[in-house]
């Protein structure tokens, strides 16, 4: 996975508690730095939307607010980023108390 995909997943994790999906165009804008829009869109479609814990609906893209999705997202972030467990756990509220030891 690319660093850009990791930025997408982290942004989705940070916004999950708001309870509403983020439209794709807004998500790209929130994650973009200096990358080309077409490349950002490609990463979203080919890498991020392929993840089992990321859902796209007519209203936008989100990580469902259930424990299974949060565990999957947390484990993915743990494996694909340099974020520490404390920060991941503080962000994804549906993780079990003993995460990451109860994988």
Cα distance between residue 89 and residue 99, in whole Å: 8
Q: Can you tell me the mean pLDDT for 92-99?
A: 90
Set out the domains of the chain in order of their start, with CATH numbers: 3-91 (1.10.10)
Task: Indicate the pTM of the whole model.
Answer: 0.89
pLDDT in tens, 39-89: 999 999 999 999 999 999 999 999 998 899 999 999 999 999 999 999 999
pLDDT in tens, 21-40: 999 999 999 998 777 889 99
Which H or E run contains 77?
helix 67-80
Cα distance between residue 79 and residue 1, in whole Å: 10
Phi, psi of 94 (to 5 degrees): -90, 10
From the list 1, 95, 17, the residue with the least C-alpha distance to 9 is 1
pLDDT for 42 equals 95
Cα distance between residue 20 and residue 54, in whole Å: 13
């Amino acid at each position: 996975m690319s660093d850009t995909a990791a930025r997408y997943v982290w942004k989705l994790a940070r916004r999950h508690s708001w309870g509403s999906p983020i439209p794709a165009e807004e998500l790209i804008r929130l994650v973009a730095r200096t990358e080309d829009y077409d490349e950002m869109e490609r990463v979203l479609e080919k890498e991020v939307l392929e993840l089992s814990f990321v859902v796209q609906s007519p209203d936008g893209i989100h990580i469902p607010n259930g424990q299974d999705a949060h565990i999957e997202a947390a484990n993915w972030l743990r494996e694909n980023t340099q974020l520490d467990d404390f920060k991941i756990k503080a962000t994804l509220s549906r993780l079990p108390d003993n995460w990451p030891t109860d994988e």
